Homo-oligomer: A and B are copies of this chain.
Amino acid sequence: MKLTFLGTGAGMPSKERNVSSIALSLLQEANSVWLFDCGEATQHQILYTSIKPRKINKIFVTHLHGDHIFGLPGFLSSRSFQGGNQPLTIYGPTGIKEYIETSLELSATHLTYPLIIEELKEGKIAESENFEMYCKKLNHGIPSFGFRIVEKDRPGKLQVDKLIKMGIPPGPIYKQIKENETYTLPNGEVIFRKDFLGPTKHGRIISILGDTKSTEKNQKFVQGSDVLVHEATFNKENKELAEKYYHSTTEQAALLAKNSAVRKLILTHISSRYQSIDYPILLEEAKDIFHNTILAEDFFETTIE
């Protein structure tokens, strides 16, 4: 599980930061990559990573502001050019369907793969073999969503030593034991899987929020996340601007992380009013409140263990 920040700026692109997009690589878990937002030139950024557009099979759109969606039509079109033929599902606020369909239709873009567009309602969005996905409305000028990706708990490792001690030699039988709650041995004895498994591996939780004003209401939704990705459009001094434009400050993001017991906070969506020289200060403002904080830059990657 790996996060790649493709764009970490706010509002419009600069030489330092592109507009919003984050990739969650689940190649081991689901042989796929999920995208969160797709600002203009996201496909250009992808050219400089190892991400294959055809592997991207879900796109989560937090809200419809241009810096989060204007890269969608181009990405969808290029995914066709590059031989994508597997279905792609887009989840986004009401209006996302009209935006995409109008863009593709008027530009006479014909996709080589099925495109499914689902408009969001709060709650559970979808469930796959290994994941459950939830969304919640945040507090922005227009409807803006946060996403909580919950990996399902995985059974512990089969305790081979124990089985061998019982006189059960390795073989296809081990797979049978691991995949069924109970198993009847050739001698008629019934054994329980749970007695031969190590501790359950708890699923990881990743919360990625769209643009939002700071509010305690987001606390429960991100509670206990392994990683929380939160916007920090402004520094702590500009609390009033953040309030006015429905955004958050470094300090507010850190407070949320602290109060909801997340393990790691990653700040993104940094206003272009801040330059390289300001980044350490922005980061310190957050770290003073929540130590395990990172300020993302374009192409920053982090593995979630």
Contacts and interface: CB of A to CB of B under 8 A. Distances in A.
Given A40-B43, A40-B74, A65 B107 contact: yes
Given A99-B102, A102-B99, A69 B14 contact: no
A71 B44 CA distance: 12
Contacts of A103: 66, 70, 99, 102-103
A81 B245 CA distance: 14
A12 B99 contact: no
A89 interface: no
A87 B65 CA distance: 23
Interface in A32-47: 40-41, 43-44, 47
B66 A107 contact: yes
A108 interface: yes
Contacts of A109: 65-66
B99 A64 contact: no
A86 to B, nearest CB: 18
A78 interface: yes
A73 B18 CA distance: 16
Interface string A73-85: 1100110011000
A71 B47 CA distance: 18
Q: Which 8 A-B pairs have the closest CB atoms?
A: A41-B41, A40-B74, A66-B107, A12-B78, A70-B74, A102-B102, A99-B106, A95-B106
A269 to B, nearest CB: 15
A129 interface: no
Q: How large is the interface on A (under 10, 10 to 19, 20 to 34, 35 or more residues)?
A: 35 or more
A141 B44 CA distance: 26
Contacts of A71: 40
A94 to B, nearest CB: 10
Contacts of A65: 107-109
Contacts of A73: 66, 70
B47 A14 contact: yes
Contacts of A77: 12, 66-67, 70
A114 B104 CA distance: 26
A69 B107 contact: yes
Contacts of A15: 47-48
B108 A44 contact: no
A13 interface: yes
20 contacts: A11-B81, A18-B44, A19-B74, A40-B43, A40-B70, A41-B41, A41-B44, A64-B107, A65-B109, A66-B77, A66-B107, A67-B74, A70-B74, A70-B77, A70-B103, A95-B106, A98-B106, A102-B103, A108-B141, A108-B142
Nearest to A108: B142
